Structures are given as C-alpha cells and as structure tokens.
Chains A and B, each alone.
Chain A
Amino acid sequence: MGGIVSPGFRGRRGVEGGEVRLPPGQYLTEDFPVLTAGPTLRVPTDTWEFVIVTETGEKHRWDWQQLMALPSERPTVDLHCVTKWSKLHTSWQGVSLDVLLEGVDTAADYAMVHSYGGYTTNLPYEDLLHGQAWIAYKFDGEDLTPEHGGPARLLVPHLYLWKSAKWVRGITLTDEDTPGFWESAGYHDYGDPWREQRYQGD
C-alpha cells in the first residue's frame, strides 16, 4: 500500500503561498524529540501482546506474530506535540485500528489506551476508526526503537502526540469517558492541535 495521508489533515494542511501551515502555536522541528513520563522499557516481542477489551468484557488478543500477519499500511503523517514542536511528513508502518476492530462487537463511545509501564490516555472510540489510527511498529522503514515507543505504539496523528501512546499493550472500550495520565493532570480531554486544545478549558 502506498502513502496514506490522515483524512483529518486533507485540505487543512499544506503549502500556502510557500509557507507550510502548522496548527496554532506550533513550530517546526527536523529532529524527533523523545518525551517520556518514566523509564524507557524494552518490551520483548516474544512476550508482547495487544489486547482489546470491550465494554462487556470480551477480550481480543494478538501476539506479535499475529500482528505481523495482518495487512499493514504505510501512513505518512504530521506529528504535533503539545510541547509545541511539529514534525512533518513522518513515515510509519503499522496495522490500522480499522483492521483490529473489524471483528470486535462494541457499542462503546470511549477508549482507554494502556501501555507497558502503566501510561494511559483516553479518546473517543470514533477517533480510532476511519483510517485515523494505527498500531505502528516501523518508523522511517526501521523497527520502532524503545525511545520512540517500540516495539509498537499507537499512532493517532490528528490529536496531540501524547495520545499516541508508546509501548502500547491494549485498549479498553467503555461507555463512559475516563481521563488518562495527562488528561487527569490538566491536559485537554480531546487534544485537537488545530483547535489548540492543550489544557483543560481550552
């Protein structure tokens, strides 16, 4: 599959009068800063698993080999960190959440993403669908390094990067919204960079 631009960006980003348009308050960076709320862990792929739990408690589990066997996509997306840097045209490979959620019977409105190491982040269930979210395992053609969340991280580039949980291990689908690690400590519940939803109340 070729490059896919997140539909959320189409028509909102691009070159206008020779200037790259960025979300409000962001600046461009060429490097890839590493942000982390704790120690960086190496999660071996032989014990790695990804589990989706529905609001009725039904579990869907993938090990690393099963994830690798699923059809992957190679999205090229822009990243916007709430600490104000943006990095454009980053190349990833991963499995779309549309593929993973295909056989999941749910009427949930919200999702809580869990990581190895205990990090959590919440988002509406809808934001995982329609080509907006991936379980990404390659960056720039190389295996995703532990610093950047490898072996696999969530990639939801239409929201601020804290939503793209590193070292992802599962998603719990729920009827009610529960704030995650940063959302419960002042950051915005949704985090749309184009509406500059950095903090609660923005």
Chain B
Amino acid sequence: MELFSDDFTDGNALAGPLREIFAVDMTTATGRCAGCGDEGPVAGMKVYAHAPGLVARCPSCQQVLMRLVRGPSSAWLDLRGTMSLRIPMPAE
C-alpha cells in the first residue's frame, strides 16, 4: 500500500467541538498515543473532518487517537487510542 492522498487538517480543528464538551481549551492538552507511545499536543493531531465524525490520528503512526461524533442531543468521544491526556490547569 502506498499513500494516494491525505486530506487532513491539524488538531486546531478540534478546538470548537471539544470546547462544547470541556470547560478548558483541549487543544493545548498533551496526548500520549496508545499505539507508539509518542506524546504531543492535541493541536498537533491529524484530523480527518470529511467523515461522519471527527477522526484524530497520531502524526507518527496514524493510530486513531480520538473519534468525536456530534448527534443532535449527544456527543460521543472515543479515546481508546489515547493512553492519557495531560490537561493544563490554572494554578490553584
């Protein structure tokens, strides 16, 4: 298999949809890939938006890190490809 085309945007495309769910800006959170272990900001994920939902993939290994589906009365966030998310918080 070789790459034919790759129509993605960066993780900043997740800012609005995630702001609907979380009280903080999630694009500056650091995610760790459950596939390859690489760490990086949510804003650096590869986001495929021409799909039934938003699909965010690891820029290193293509593993699906996040699936976000917005229905009329629910949002589904599937994070099984993300081992952890470190979310910057205001100092207490």
Chain A residues packing against B (C-beta within 8 Å): 33-44, 81-83, 116-118, 146-147, 162, 181-182, 184-187, 198-201
Given A185-B76, A185-B78, A199-B74, also A37-B1 (CB < 8 A): no
Q: Which residue of A lies closest to B69 (CB)?
A: A186
Q: Smallest CB–CB gap between B55 and chain A, Å?
A: 4
Judged by a CB distance under 8 angstroms, whether B51 is at the interface is: yes
| Beta-carbon contact of A42 and B48 below 8 Å | no
Interface residue stretch chosen among B2-10, B12-20, B22-30, B84-92:
B2-10
| Beta-carbon contact of B69 and A38 below 8 Å | no
Question: What residues of chain A lie closer than 8 Å to B7, measured between beta carbons?
Answer: 34, 36, 40
Question: What residues of chain A lie closer than 8 Å to B75, measured between beta carbons?
Answer: 186
Q: List 15 A-B contacts (CB under 8 A).
A: A35-B52, A37-B48, A37-B51, A38-B48, A38-B62, A38-B64, A40-B4, A40-B7, A41-B1, A41-B2, A83-B52, A162-B52, A181-B67, A185-B76, A200-B76
| Beta-carbon contact of A186 and B50 below 8 Å | no
Chain B 58-92 near chain A by CB (<8 Å), digits 1 or 0: 00001010011101101110100000000000000
Q: Smallest CB–CB gap between B27 and chain A, Å?
A: 20
| Beta-carbon contact of A185 and B50 below 8 Å | no
Distance A182 CA – B50 CA, assembled complex (angstroms): 14
The 8 Å CB contact of A39, one of B3, B51, B69, is: B3
The 8 Å CB contact of A187, one of B48, B52, B55, B72, is: B52
| Beta-carbon contact of A40 and B5 below 8 Å | yes
Distance A34 CA – B8 CA, assembled complex (angstroms): 13
Q: Most chain-A CB neighbours within 10 Å: which of B3, B4, B64, B76?
A: B4
Question: What residues of chain A lie closer than 8 Å to B57, measured between beta carbons?
Answer: 38
Distance A36 CA – B50 CA, assembled complex (angstroms): 6
| Beta-carbon contact of A42 and B3 below 8 Å | yes
Known contacts A43-B1, A162-B52, A184-B78; can you find 8 more A-B pairs with CB under 8 A?
A37-B51, A38-B55, A40-B7, A41-B1, A41-B2, A181-B67, A186-B76, A200-B76
Q: Smallest CB–CB gap between A154 and chain B, Å?
A: 16
Q: Smallest CB–CB gap between A113 and chain B, Å?
A: 16
Distance A83 CA – B2 CA, assembled complex (angstroms): 28
Q: Most chain-A CB neighbours within 10 Å: which of B7, B52, B53?
A: B52
Distance A83 CA – B70 CA, assembled complex (angstroms): 11
Given A116-B1, A186-B76, also A35-B51 (CB < 8 A): yes
